[in-house]
Chain A
């Protein structure tokens, strides 16, 4: 063994050397590099997951937008239909009102005309009575007193008006 140089103190020194190298390399090489490799792997995985998630989200929101648009379109159509209906109704109501007013105006006018006519007739009758009395007075002066005379004429006229009105 001496021939090839196995030497216990030297061997111990080399073992210590190797252990020191082992420790130092673990400290400065393996631990930090493995840590950073793991970190990077985790980061890449996270990024991929995130991208996947974002893609899913985008698909989801697209779908939502589509449904929103659909409901909006439906609502719009409903509103238009309702508005048309309301317009129709308003038009109808306006027509109805106009017709009613016209009718009431006509009725009122007719009533007024009738009233006017009655009044004129009354006035005419009064006038006529007076003229008749005046005439009668002139014709038969002193034969009859004015009161009696007027009474007779009134009676006659009354009969005649009743007859006329009916």
Chain B
């Protein structure tokens, strides 16, 4: 009896959702164009306006405080406030809130331990965990309704747009770039710490072989000079490549996150415009998944580069 009842409720909800989806299709721009009807004005969604740079909300001196910056502060306040509340009273037998904080830390720590090993995990943990928490919280907060909807009306290029007070920070290229720079600095720091500054820099600017070959030229050993000079130039070229690969990481980090998040945002806007009402719900689910994956990738890649930097590869250099 009870079971039948709940099945019926599910069926009713399902039918209602399908009806809403069809209604959205009909009254949205697609349906109205094909059927030639004018949609009711309360359903009509503004044409999506794509704005890549974040918009300034107010100014402090010459510095424009943008909506992404405000959202970023919100994220920080939320994260720090939540975990400060969780860890206010630490006891050996944890309460509910403390368990939450412990679960978060343990899950991340175990994830790092799995790839980096017990010793490196403790070094990498704060950086990797902060990146993960920041990116995922930014992504998820961007999905709640206050973001991108409440704001100031402005006329731009003859079109009325809303400049929101809050905008998902990951869609501002400066946010992924700032995290990427932070990640880059820590990766280089770990590299220098594990092998020493001189040796670390030497891996990028490897003139040793070239110098040795000129030494052999002065000694009159021409054969070793020619082979040495070839390998010397190859080493220098490899060093340059290495330098590039490290700097390329910043760009790939930045645009992977920025691209995914911005595309997700635009996708939601377009879907909501084309098919109003319920269709965008599916894409919200997709965005939840993408937010998680992007946070995992950003933190995970930082971890992997960190492990590479922390593992001394002196064995390879004995040649």
Q: Name A residues whose Cβ lies closer than 8 Å to a Cβ of B.
A: 2-7, 9-11, 13-15, 17-22, 24-26, 28-30, 32-37, 39-40, 43
Contact = CB atoms under 8 A, between A and B. Distances in A.
Contacts of B179: 18
Nearest to A12: B178
B101 A10 contact: no
- 8 residue pairs, one from A and one from B, having the closest CB atoms: A5-B53, A14-B178, A29-B83, A33-B105, A28-B84, A15-B178, A32-B87, A24-B80
B123 to A, nearest CB: 12
Interface string B46-90: 000000111000000001101001001101100110011011001
B217 to A, nearest CB: 46
B175 interface: yes
Contacts, number: 114
Given A5-B52, A5-B54, A34-B105, A11 B87 contact: no
B177 to A, nearest CB: 6
Given A25-B130, A30-B129, A13 B69 contact: yes
Contacts of B69: 10, 13-14, 17
Contacts of A30: 105, 125-126, 129
A21 B174 contact: no
A14 B90 contact: no
Contacts of A37: 102, 105-106
B182 interface: yes
B211 to A, nearest CB: 39
A20 B101 CA distance: 19
A4 B92 CA distance: 49
Dominant SS among interface residues on chain B: helix
Interface string B203-244: 000000000000000000000000000000000000000000
Interface residues of B, number: 47
B226 to A, nearest CB: 45
Dominant SS among interface residues on chain A: helix
Contacts of B64: 10
Contacts of A5: 52-54, 172-174
Contact of B87 (A18, A21, A28, A39): A28
5 contacts: A21-B130, A28-B84, A28-B87, A29-B101, A34-B109
B44 to A, nearest CB: 29
B70 to A, nearest CB: 11
B133 interface: yes
B174 A14 contact: yes
A9 B122 CA distance: 33
B174 A36 contact: no
Nearest to A2: B53
Contacts of B53: 2-5, 7
A32 B90 contact: yes
Which of B52, B104, B173 has the most A CB atoms < 10 Å from its CB? B173
